[in-house]
Amino acid sequence: MLKSFLMVSAMATICNSASLISPDNPNLQYFGRFDFSNPSEAAFDWPGVYIRAAFQGTSCKIILKGNDFFDVLIDDKPVAVIKSSSQTDTIIAANGLEDKTHQLLLKKRSESSSPSFFQGLILDSGKALIPPPSPPARKIEFIGDSYTAGFASEYNSRECPPDKADSIIMSYTNTNKAFGPQVASHFNAQYQINAISGRGLVRNYNGLNPGKELPFYYEKALLSSDDKIWDFSKWKADVVVIGIGINDFQADPPYADSVRFDSAYVQLLTKLRKSYPGVKFICCATKVWPTDALIPRIKSIVESQKKRGHKDIWYYEYATENNALYGHPGIKDHQNIAEGLIPVIAEATGWKK
C-alpha cells in the first residue's frame, strides 16, 4: 500500500519569523524539464523531475501548487510522501531536525494532466540555503511511455475496482521506483524521464489521439504548452535509453505501419545525435500483446544503424510479468529491467558503478 501522506497547512501564512526561499535562488538545483518564465514559480509537468537543496536549520516547508505526488528525502532518507493540490499549499517536509545543514531532495512520483508549480521553501528564521554538492557529471535520458513513467507500478493487481481508476493511477504511479531512476542511481547519474503513458512513436494506444504521439510533445518544456519549447543546450545526455514503441503495436488494430515506424525512429535518433554529440543509445524492446511486433522492429533498426557505420547504438530486450494495474510492470519488474540495463550501459560507456 501507499505510504501515508504528510499533508499539513494549506495556504499557510508566512510569518515574519521565517525565511522565504524563492524558486530562483541560485542554490536550488533543478533536474528535468522546468519552465522559469515566471520568476515566482518553477512550472513542470514531465514525470520524474526533482529538486535538490542544502538548507540550514531544524525545519523546511515546501510551497507547491498542482495535483501531484512527491517523495521527500532529508539527508538521503525518505521522510514523507506529500500531495499538492490545485491551490497553493505550504507543506511541512521536515521539522524537529538537528540545527545544522541538511540535504533536501524533492522527487515527483506522478504523471500530470496539467502543470504543477514549485513556489519556494520556508526555513527557520535567519536560515538560508547553502550551495549543494555539485551535481553528478553523468547524464542519462529515458524516453518512453507508461513503462518508463512507472505507471501504477505500486499497485499489486491488474484489475481496477469500478470508478477507482483515476485515484489508483495517481496514488500508485511511482516514477521514482521505475527502472530509469534505479539505473541512474547505480551510475550516480543525473536523469530525465521524458515519457507519456499511452503514447507511441507513430500510433498511440488503440489508435487514440492521432497526431499527438510522443514526437508531438518531445521538444516541449511543458507538455501542456505549445509555446514553451525545451532548450536542449541546457542539458546534454551522455546516454539515451529509448523505450518507445509498445503502444504502436498494442490493443486493437490497425497497428503502426512498419516503414513509417522505422522512419520515425531513425528521425528521433538523428535529432538526438544532433542535440547530444557523442551520445550512446540503448534501444529497448519487449514482447507486446497481441502482435509481438516490437522486438523484430527494434532489432532491425539497431542492426541497420550498425550496418550504416553507427557505433553508438545498443539493443536491449527484457521480459516482464506485468502484474500491476492493467498489465503494467510492477516494482519487481522495474528492478529486473534496471538490472538488465546496467551492464548494457556499462558496456556502451565504460562507466563503473
Written in H, E and C, the secondary structure of the chain is: CCCCECCCCECCCCCCCCEEECCCCCCCEEECCCECCCCCCEEECCCCCEEEEEEEECCEEEEEECCCEEEEEECCEEEEEEECCCCCEEEEEECCCCCEEEEEEEEECCCCCCCEEEEEEEECCCCCEECCCCCCCEEEEEEECHHHHCCCCCCCCCCCCCCCHHHHHHHHCCHHHCHHHHHHHHCCEEEEEEECCCCCCCCCHHHCCCCCCHHHHHCECCCCCCCCECCHHHCCCCEEEECCCCHHHECCCCCCCHHHHHHHHHHHHHHHHHHCCCCEEEEEEECCCECCCHHHHHHHHHHHHHHCCCCCEEEEEECCCCCEHHHECCHHHHHHHHHHHHHHHHHHHCCCC
The per-residue pLDDT for 4 is 40
Residue the block writes with cell 519487449 = 286
Residue 103: strand pairing partners: 54
> Could you give all domains of the chain from N- to C-terminal order, each with its CATH number?
19-130 (2.60.120.260), 138-349 (3.40.50.1110)
Q: What is the pLDDT along the chain (353 residues), one digit of tens a residue?
A: 334 444 444 334 444 579 999 999 999 999 999 999 999 999 999 999 999 999 999 999 999 999 999 999 999 999 999 999 999 999 999 999 999 999 999 999 999 989 999 999 999 999 999 999 999 999 999 999 999 999 999 999 999 999 999 999 999 999 999 999 999 999 999 999 999 999 999 999 999 999 999 999 999 999 999 999 999 999 999 999 999 999 999 999 999 999 999 999 999 999 999 999 999 999 999 999 988 999 999 999 999 999 999 999 999 999 999 999 999 999 999 999 999 999 999 999 999 98
The per-residue pLDDT for 2 is 37
Tell me the pairing of strands 42-44 and 116-123: antiparallel
The per-residue pLDDT for 353 is 82
Distance CA 315, CA 329 (A): 20
